[in-house]
Structures are given as C-alpha cells and as structure tokens.
Amino acid sequence: MSAAADVPAVRRVVISSFDNPTHPHYQGGGVAVIEAMAGRLGEDFDVTVLTVGRRSESVLHNGIRYRRMPLEWAGPRVGQLVYHAVLPFAARRIRPDLWIENFTPPFSTSFLPLFVRTPVLGFAQALQGKELSRRYRFPFFLIERLGLRCYRDVLVLNAADQALVNAANPAAAVHLIPNGIQTVDLDEKLLGGGEHVLFLGRIDVWKKGIDYLIEAYEQSRLDLPLLIAGAGLPREERRLAELIAGTSTDARWIGHVTGERKRELLERSAFVVMPSRYETFGLSALEAMAHAKPVLHFDLPTLHWMAGDVAVPAYDTAALAGQMRTLAGDEPLRRRLGRQAHTAAQKYGHDETAERYLALARKLLSRSGPRRSSGS
C-alpha cells in the first residue's frame, strides 16, 4: 500500500435544502443561513448543497457548489412535497461523510436517517407542522413529530424549538446555535430617529401576519409611512397589493431589497414591525437590532431571545396598533430600546456563529473517524 493511502482525505459534507439563492419563490433569511453555513464549512470540507432547479446540473454560486435536482417544474408548494418524496432516493446515491438536512415544510423532515448510513444532522430552521396543520386542516404535525424520532442530532435556532424536539425525541442531541449577522457599529446620530415604519421579510401574508400588520397600521392612524420590503409567490404579492389597495393609509410595498438599499431602509426606519403568526428565529429582527432599531412583534415563544424589543399579546391587532402609536411618538423610548437592541445584537456575530457550525460538524465527523484517501 502506498503512503498516499494513509493520508486523510478532505471530508465530504452535503447540505440538502429546498430553498436556494436562485429559486424564484424562496429567497428569505433561511437561504442566507445555508449560504453562511456552506461558506464556512467549505473552508475545511468538500461541501455541496443539494437543492432544486429547472434542470439537473452542478453550478457554483458565490463560491458554493450547488447540485440541482430538476424539480422546479412542480412549483413552490407541490414542489416541496415532491422534494420530500425524491430526496431519500437521491440520498442513497450520494455518500458524504456528513449530511445536513435543512428541514422543509409542510412536515419538516424527509426521514433521511432511515435511508442513508451517513450521519445526518437535522437542521430545524422551520418546524411548522403545528401551524400548517391549523392552516390547512391536515395533521402535518404528526408526520413531523414521527420524523423527528429518527434523528440522533438536531440543530435548532431557539430554546422553544429545542424543547419541542426534546419532547418528540428525548434520545436526540439537540444543538442550539442561533442565527448570526454582520454586526454594525452604533451610530449615535441615527439612534432614536426614523422617518418610516418598516416590515422586512418574505411576502407570505398568513405566516408573516401581513394582514394583521395592515389592519393594525390602519387602526394606528400614524403619520409615518409603512414600508413593506420583500418578495414572495405571485399570489402572495397579489394578496398584499389587494390589502394595501383596500385601505386609505400610506402603506407601500417596495419589493425585494438587498445590500445598500436594505441598510438604508433600516437606518432610516423609526422601528421595525414583525407581526408573524409563526417564526423560528426572525433573522430580519436581528438585522434591525444590529442597526439599533426596536422590533415590535407578537409575543411568540420562539422570539424570547430578543432584547430592546416590544412584544404584544399574540394576534392582538389593537395592542399592536397601540404600541405602533407609542413607538412612533416617543423618540427617547426608541433611543433607549435601540441601544439595548444594538448591545444584544453584538452577541450574534456572523463569524462566531460560523465557527460554531464548524465545531459541530467536526464533532459529528469525529464519531466515524478519519476518512482515508483512495490513492493507489
């Protein structure tokens, strides 16, 4: 045997994720999280993101290799179900050292540990079984809970989901790593100021509570305009346009924003509203906090990690409207909350989160020992 056969080879990691940066319908915070994870792991491992596309192909995007399965034809909703059905069969043809499965609605898991010998880390960016069961009157949550029992390791973003996974599978190791962002220096000149109220997120009227937002904004009678930044499915965007057209308020939908435009909108906002019916973490809230902006939201267990925020009883639009009036009219309050929010956001740095991903991947890979090269 040659000496090359004893040289440790680069370990292979596959991240399966229905969402991706070029998907026409899903370009929210979850995509950014997968990109951040793949980017950091790719510095130490051979990483491929297995996702969907119009055709079967392998492409590079922002330095990350994406392997696309030709499932985009099925559309956004049915496509998720087809993806769940196809992924286990695709997984049997791929032999990485570690598989990271980004959970996908409506029932989250694809039961991958039943189909592959590779160690699988379930990534619970979305545990929406209960909420989608209520919305569509089908017991997705039962499938989700059954699926969770298959995993030895699950990665979650908040303590509430950690408790949910522990209840479904007490034997699992549940790893809590919150999302991270690029932190921003505090600008005292902007602290407490603002010329509009901002919603930042995917346009999904039901999940993101945009119907509640429009109703509360109309009740509040604010002089500040409400800017709604984001994109979604065509029918969701049409629904939003209908909601705005049905009011006499200064609510404006400005579409998808990134980069400098997003930064400017955050800096010039008085506060950010996130009236979601359901959130796993709320990356847009963390972005607002990093820019020293208070975040107004419904009191959901998965959002208890925040600071410098204002929580109102879940789905109470009158309370939401009242706090919108309070925040809009009280600049000293916005300054105080904004400073608290900015301080808290410093604990969620992008680099620190990326290093925690790497440490977890190394821990899971160490179970199977080093992989050897196949040199002759």
pLDDT in tens, the chain (376 residues): 454 455 567 899 999 999 887 765 555 678 889 999 999 999 999 999 999 999 999 999 888 999 999 998 888 888 889 999 999 999 988 889 999 999 998 889 999 999 998 899 999 988 888 888 888 888 888 999 999 999 999 999 999 999 999 999 999 999 999 999 989 999 999 999 999 999 999 999 999 999 999 999 999 999 999 999 999 889 999 999 999 999 999 999 999 998 999 999 999 999 999 999 989 899 999 999 999 999 999 999 999 999 999 999 999 999 999 999 999 999 999 999 999 999 999 999 999 999 999 999 999 999 865 554 433 2
Question: What pLDDT score does 374 carry?
Answer: 37
The answer to whether the beta carbons of residues 350 and 206 sit under 8 Å apart is: no
**What is the reported pLDDT for 122?**
96
Contact (Cβ atoms closer than 8 angstroms) between residue 67 and residue 33: no
> 116: which 2 tokens?
């592959």
Query: What pLDDT, on a 0 to 100 scale, did the predictor assign at position 308?
Result: 95
Label residue 327 exposed, middle or buried (CB < 10 Å: 0-12, 13-18, 19+): buried
Residue type, 210: I
Q: What CATH code would you report for 196-348?
A: 3.40.50.2000
Please name the helix (run of DSSP H) or strand (run of DSSP E) that holds residue 105, with its range, or none: none
Within the chain, which residue ranges are assigned CATH 3.40.50.2000? 3-180+350-368, 196-348
Q: Which residues pair with 111 in a beta bridge?
A: none
Tokens of 349: 């740095």
Question: Listing from the earlier edge strand, what are the strands of the sheet with 196-200?
Answer: 251-255, 226-229, 196-200, 269-274, 295-298, 309-312
DSSP code at position 8: B
CA distance 357 to 69: 25
Structure tokens at 176: 């809590």
Instruction: Report whether CATH 1.20.140.10 matches the domain 3-180+350-368.
Output: no
- Angle made by CA atoms 36, 281, 349, in degrees to the nearest 5: 45
